[in-house]
Structure formats: structure tokens, C-alpha cells
Amino acid sequence: MVIEIISASLGLIQGVLVMLNKRSNWLFYIMQMLFLIIFSSINHLYGDIVNNSIYLVMGVVGFILWGKKEKINKITSAKLKEKIIYTLLIALGTLVLFCILRKTDDPLPLLDSFTTISSLIATYYMMKKKIDTWIIWFINDIFYAIEYFILPNQAIYLFILNIIWTVLAVLSYINWKKLMKGD
């Protein structure tokens, strides 16, 4: 439970910092991933273990990218073709990962697959400062909340965190939209 509380606390701080478009969000993101890897290992959420390990690397890359003074720091929106591609990637990736995870003792292979793949896509778009990240995160956080609520060893703090993140996704979208117009 301590690991879950620390992870949730780090995630809450990170969520507020990214909403405010602060580079330091990535430091809390990296620390949270370390704790989530431990939590996911204990709960046999294999997709999340892989996911959070990749996030660790993405967190470092995000921190580096957000420190550059290039156009990567400008908030933009994905073009229609890109939106179609990321939607298809989420659907196909979920299907492939589900086929793998259902052969394990993962208690929620479909939810774990969807949240794993959509989180990767959302994090990629967060690194690239695409406003679309918040739409993906909004949907993802709803499903993560469901996943943590129905886990056999219910993860109440991570459930609450994902409810808060769902609200923060909306607020982040609104704030980034304002920042986009100001660029």
C-alpha cells in the first residue's frame, strides 16, 4: 500500500505540473514509473510492467525534449491522418497485446492491454506536445480507474489518482488550448 500511495502522490504532482506545461513534470513522472513498476510486479500486471519500463525511458526523453528551444516546445494538434493512425495503433496494439496477456495470469488482460497501448501513444504525444494527448489520456484514465477499481487487490489510491487525472486531462486540454492560441 505504501508503494501505491507514493506512486499516486508522485502522479498527482506530475499531473499538475504537466497541466501547467512545466518541464519538471518529467522528473516526477520518472520517479512514479519506478514505483509503478514495483506495484505492477506485485499485482501481476505484465502489460503495465512493460509499459512503465518504457515510460521510464520516455520520461528521460520527454525531459530532454522539453528542455530544447526548438519548435518541439510549441503545442500543436495532430493532423487528421495522424489521428487515424494513432486510433488504429491503439486498436491493433490492444488486440495483439490482449492475445499475449490472456495466456498469463494477468487478472484483467483486455483492460491491461488497452491501458498499456493507449498510455504509450498518449505519452508519445505528450512528449511531442500535441494537444491530442489529453483526449487520449482522458479516455485512458477512465479505463485505468476501472482497472484499478476491479483488481482483485483493489488499488484504491491509484483508482482515486486516475479519477483526478481524468479531471486533470480536461483541465490540461483547456490550458494547453489557451497556450496554443498564445504561441
Helix (H) or strand (E) holding 103: none
| Angle, vertex CA 95, rays to CA 93 and CA 97, nearest 5 | 65
What does the pLDDT read at residue 148? 86
**Dmax of the chain from CA atoms?**
49
Along the 183 residues of the chain, how does pLDDT read in single tens digits? 789 889 989 988 998 999 899 999 999 999 999 998 998 898 887 777 887 899 899 999 999 988 876 555 789 999 999 999 999 999 999 999 999 999 988 889 999 899 989 999 999 999 999 999 999 999 999 999 998 898 877 778 888 888 998 999 999 999 999 998 875
Burial letters 42-62, b for 16+ CB under 10 A, else e:
ebbbbbbbbbbeebbebbeeb
Domain boundaries, the chain: 2-182
Selection from 3, 92, 107 nearest residue 47 by Cα: 107
CB atoms within 10 A of CB 127: 19
User: What amino acid is encoded at 173 in this protein?
Assistant: Y
The conformation of residue 73, written as its DSSP 8-state character, comes to: G
